[in-house]
Amino acid sequence: MGKNYTKVYLTVLGLISVISLFIALKSSGNREEIEKLRKEVNLLREELTKKEEQLKKAVEEKEKLARKLKSIEEKIKKANKTLRRKGIKIKLPQGGLFIPADRKENLEFYASTLENSMEKLLKVMAEIPVGVPLYGRLTSRFGYRKDPFNGKLAFHAGIDLRAQPRQPVFATANGIVKFAGWSGGYGKLVIIKHKYGYETYYGHLFKIRVKKGQRVKAGTVIGYAGSTGRSTGVHLHYEIRRYGRLLNPLKYLYLNRYNAF
Ligand SMILES: [Zn+2]
């Protein structure tokens, strides 16, 4: 659009010059003719002013848009920083500095760079186990607690969520099933291996619905809640590990201050 206005501007400017020259040459000629030409010149001047105003408005609009895009870029950078604090490094496409508002192609390029960054972030988000594996009340937290069987202090490696019998259990991120079967105290257990070193554990299942080696998506039903293994009632035992280290799943259940993207 900017280019078009510039063209119009130059054309009108050229016309005025030609007409002015014509008037100068014919200054000794027909008065009526001169008056007519003057009127035309004035009309063209008005047109020019109008176009100039339109151009100014268009440039202002684009500057506004550029500022908005810049603020989106800042937010994307912030989200990336949050991920970096969690030890997840993603290289985002470079958006660049301020782009002159009258250059449409640049603004479009800028917007599509941001779109690509956003897509990349969304993809990464689907790989991180953030979310709820089962909708149920939290009945036991991560860390040291009294063992429900013998009352002694013991470390609880995950969280427990109370469940209805056979309530569906969801994978909390994309991944590959690493284990699906019986595992001592866990009863029927599913372990899913995710990107960035994450693993999630789903224990005491009544029934397993996935097989070892199977690819799952965030939200896939991997089984149904039960009370198999060392369990006192129907519930889901949920664990998150990263590079073998136990993490507190509570910090991964919701998009809270620890997980704000
Ligand atoms: Zn548990």
pLDDT tens digits, residue range 174-210? 999 999 999 999 999 999 999 999 999 999 999 999 9
Clarify whether residues 246 and 207 are in a common domain: yes
CA of 3 to the centre of ligand 1 (A): 66
CA of 19 to the centre of ligand 1 (A): 90
% of residues, the chain, pLDDT over 70: 88
Clarify whether residues 240 and 142 are in a common domain: yes
CA of 258 to the centre of ligand 1 (A): 22
Does the pLDDT value for residue 92 go beyond 90?
Answer: no
Give the CATH number, domain containing residue 202: 2.70.70.10
Clarify whether residues 16 and 104 are in a common domain: yes
Instruction: Determine whether 186 is exposed, middle or buried from the number of CB atoms within 10 Å of its CB (0-12, 13-18, 19+).
Output: buried
Q: How many domains are there within the chain?
A: 2
Clarify whether residues 208 and 231 are in a common domain: yes
Clarify whether residues 12 and 108 are in a common domain: yes
Clarify whether residues 238 and 149 are in a common domain: yes
Does the pLDDT value for residue 70 go beyond 80?
Answer: yes
CA of 231 to the centre of ligand 1 (A): 8
pLDDT of residue 260: 42
Clarify whether residues 219 and 197 are in a common domain: yes
Query: Is 258 inside any structural domain?
Result: no
Does the pLDDT value for residue 238 go beyond 80?
Answer: yes
Residue-number span of the structural domain to which 25 is assigned: 2-127
- Residue 185 near residue 212 (C-beta atoms within 8 A): no
More confident residue, 123 or 233: 233
Clarify whether residues 31 and 123 are in a common domain: yes
CA of 1 to the centre of ligand 1 (A): 63
Clarify whether residues 171 and 197 are in a common domain: yes
Return d(Cα 172, Cα 210) in angstroms, integer: 14
CA of 89 to the centre of ligand 1 (A): 31
Query: Is 148 inside any structural domain?
Result: yes
Query: Is 132 inside any structural domain?
Result: no
Please list, in sequence order, all residues whose beta carbon lies within 8 angstroms of the beta carbon of residue 152, skipping any fewer than 6 positions away.
146
Instruction: For residue 152, give the 3-state DSSP assignment.
Output: coil
pLDDT confidence of 165, banded at 50, 70, 90?
very high
pLDDT digits 0-9 by tens, 115-141: 999 998 888 888 999 889 999 999 999
Of 68, 97, 127, the domain-final residue? 127
pLDDT of residue 2: 55
CA of 185 to the centre of ligand 1 (A): 10
Clarify whether residues 111 and 167 are in a common domain: no
Of 127, 151, 168, the domain-final residue? 127
Query: Is 195 inside any structural domain?
Result: yes
CA of 256 to the centre of ligand 1 (A): 22
Give the helix/strand (H/E) hosting 178: strand 175-182
Instruction: For residue 34, give the 3-state DSSP assignment.
Output: helix
CA of 236 to the centre of ligand 1 (A): 7
Clarify whether residues 108 and 9 are in a common domain: yes
More confident residue, 94 or 189: 189
Instruction: Report the mean per-residue pLDDT for the chain.
Output: 87
Clarify whether residues 96 and 145 are in a common domain: no
pLDDT of residue 199: 98
Return d(Cα 191, Cα 200) in angstroms, integer: 6
CA of 140 to the centre of ligand 1 (A): 7
